[in-house]
Chains A and B, each alone.
Chain A
Amino acid sequence: MAAGVAAWLPFARAAAIGWMPVATTPMPIPPQEKKKTQDGLIILNVSGTKFQTWKTTLERYPDTLLGSTERDFFFHEESNEYFFDRDPDIFRHILNFYRTGKLHYPRQECISAYDEELMFFGIIPEIIGDCCYEEYKDRRRENLDRLQDDEEMDISNEAAPVNLSYREYLWRAFENPHTSTLALVFYYVTGFFIAISVMANVVETVPCGTMPNRSKEVSCGDRYALAFFCLDTACVMIFTFEYLLRLVAAPSRYKFVKSVMSVIDVVAIMPYYIGLVMTDNDQVSGAFVTLRVFRVFRIFKFSRHSAGLRILGYTLKSCASELGFLLFSLTMAIIIFATVMFYAEKGSAHSKFTSIPAAFWYTIVTMTTLGYGDMVPKTIVGKVFGSICSLSGVLVIALPVPVIVSNFSRIYHQSQRAEKRRAQRKTRLARIRAAKIRGTNAYMHFKQNGLLIDSLEEASKKAGQALVGKAASPPFESQHHHLLHCLEKTTNHEFVDEQTFQANCMEISVVNKAGSRSSSLSSSPHNLSSCCSRRHRKKSSFSLPSTNNQELSTIQIRERPLANSRSSLNAKLNETVPLKCNQPYISPSMVSLSAPPVTSSDEDSTTTTAYSQSNIVRVSAL
Chain B
Amino acid sequence: MGIQDMELLAIGVVVILFMAVLKQFGILEPISSFEDSSDSDLEMSTVRHQPEGLDQLQAQTKFTRKELQSLYRGFKNECPSGLVDEETFKSIYSQFFPQGDASTYAHFLFNAFDLDRNGSIRFEDFVIGLSVLLRGSVTEKLNWAFNLYDINKDGCITKEEMLAIMKSIYDMMGRYTYPCVRDEAPSEHVDKFFQKMDRNRDGVVTIEEFIETCQKDENIMNSMQLFENVI
Contact = CB atoms under 8 A, between A and B. Distances in A.
B27 interface: no
Nearest to A100: B77
Contacts of A339: 10
A181 interface: no
A528 to B, nearest CB: 77
Contacts, number: 120
Interface string B215-231: 00001101110110111
A33 B229 contact: yes
A99 B76 CA distance: 12
Contact of B230 (A2, A14, A99): A14
B169 interface: yes
A473 B7 CA distance: 99
Contacts of A25: 219
A372 interface: no
B46 interface: no
A21 interface: yes
Contacts of B14: 336, 340
A85 interface: no
B227 A16 contact: yes
A13 B227 contact: yes
Contacts of A11: 126, 130
Contacts of A340: 10-11, 14
Given A12-B93, A22-B166, A381-B3, A30 B229 contact: yes
Given A11-B130, A343-B7, A344-B7, A26 B96 contact: no
B197 to A, nearest CB: 8
B1 A17 contact: no
Q: Chain B interface secondary structure, helix, strand, loop or mixed? A: helix
Contacts of A1: 95-96
A292 interface: no
A340 B226 CA distance: 79
Interface string B36-79: 00000000000000000000000000000010001101110110
B223 A23 contact: yes
B156 interface: no
Contact of B145 (A21, A26, A343): A21
Interface in B89-112: 92-93, 95-96, 108-109, 112
B204 interface: no
A24 interface: yes
Contacts of A254: none
Nearest to B94: A5
Given A11-B130, A39-B70, A340-B10, A2 B95 contact: yes
B223 A381 contact: no
A346 B193 contact: no
Interface in A24-49: 24-27, 29-30, 33, 39
B134 interface: yes
A515 interface: no
A5 B219 contact: no
A39 B66 contact: yes
B83 interface: no
Contacts of A23: 219-220, 223
B2 interface: yes
Contacts of A8: 74-75, 78, 92-93, 96
B151 interface: no
B17 A336 contact: yes
Interface string A523-558: 000000000000000000000000000000000000
Contacts of B229: 30, 33
Contacts of B108: 18
Contacts of A73: none
B78 A17 contact: no
B109 A21 contact: no
Interface in B3-21: 3-4, 6-7, 10-11, 14, 17
A24 B181 CA distance: 16
A17 to B, nearest CB: 5
Contact of A21 (B17, B70, B133, B214): B214
A599 B27 CA distance: 78
A248 interface: no
A347 interface: yes
A10 interface: yes
Contacts of A24: 189, 192, 219
Contacts of B145: 17-18, 20-21
Interface centre among A11, A21, A339, A348, by most chain B C-beta atoms within 10 angstroms, is: A21
Interface centre among A12, A17, A29, by most chain B C-beta atoms within 10 angstroms, is: A17
A339 B192 CA distance: 73
Contacts of B2: 347
Interface string A73-115: 0000000000000000000000000011000000000000000
A460 interface: no
Interface in A337-353: 339-340, 343-344, 346-348
5 contacts: A5-B96, A10-B230, A22-B189, A24-B189, A26-B222
User: Which 3 pairs from chain A and chain B are nearest by CB?
Assistant: A7-B74, A14-B133, A27-B223
